[in-house]
Structure formats: C-alpha cells, structure tokens
Amino acid sequence: MPSSSQKGSLSPPTLYYEDFGSRPEMRLNTLRALSVLMGCSPGLHSAHSLGVSEGEWRALRSWLLNRDGAGDALWFWRADTHGVRVLHICTSHVLVGTNQMLRDL
C-alpha cells in the first residue's frame, strides 16, 4: 500500500504510461479516462456518469483489470462488475513515461 503521511492521506500513486495499453490509441484513451476519474468522489461510477467515450471506458477497465499494470492505482480505483469504484480521491499522481506519451500524441 502507498505510504501514509502524518495527516493520514495516501501517497500519490505511481502510474506507468506504458502499462496503459499496447497501442497508442489505447494508452491515450486510458489517460483521458483517468484524467476524469482523478477528481471523482468515492463510490461507483459508470462511463455515462464520467462522460467518457466507449473506447476510453474499455481502455480504463482493461488497465484496472490488469492488476500488474495498474499497481498503486488499485488503492484508489477498482474495476467493478457494474463500473469503476473510486476508493479514495486522487489529488496528485506520478506519471512515468511521459516521453512515450508525447510520441503517442
């Protein structure tokens, strides 16, 4: 589990861009969906409630279901049978692999 600060909040998750998918489109779809999910309150969310496209939704759920690739993110978000469950609000994160992201753009 990410370490806790003295205030009891979770440390920012480290997200690895290359783990978002095997193709540029999938990685960018995951990134777009995550950008919406970041500030969501705890609870169950659907593609409709998040306002993400079907491709973004599929990419996000695929990444979250890949427990090895999702890593620290699983302390914040989980794929659920009926959507994506936000466990904790994520106010900051570390994204590794921005050079690949820039190439994908």
| Ramachandran bin of 33, using left for φ above 0, alpha for ψ from -120 to 50, beta for the remaining angles | alpha
How far is C-alpha 54 from the chain's CA centre? 16
Tens digit of each residue's pLDDT (9 = 90 or more) over 80-97: 999 999 999 988 889 999
pTM: 0.85
d(CA 16, CA 27): 10
Tens digit of each residue's pLDDT (9 = 90 or more) over 12-59: 889 999 999 999 999 999 999 999 998 899 999 999 999 999 999 999
d(CA 58, CA 65): 10
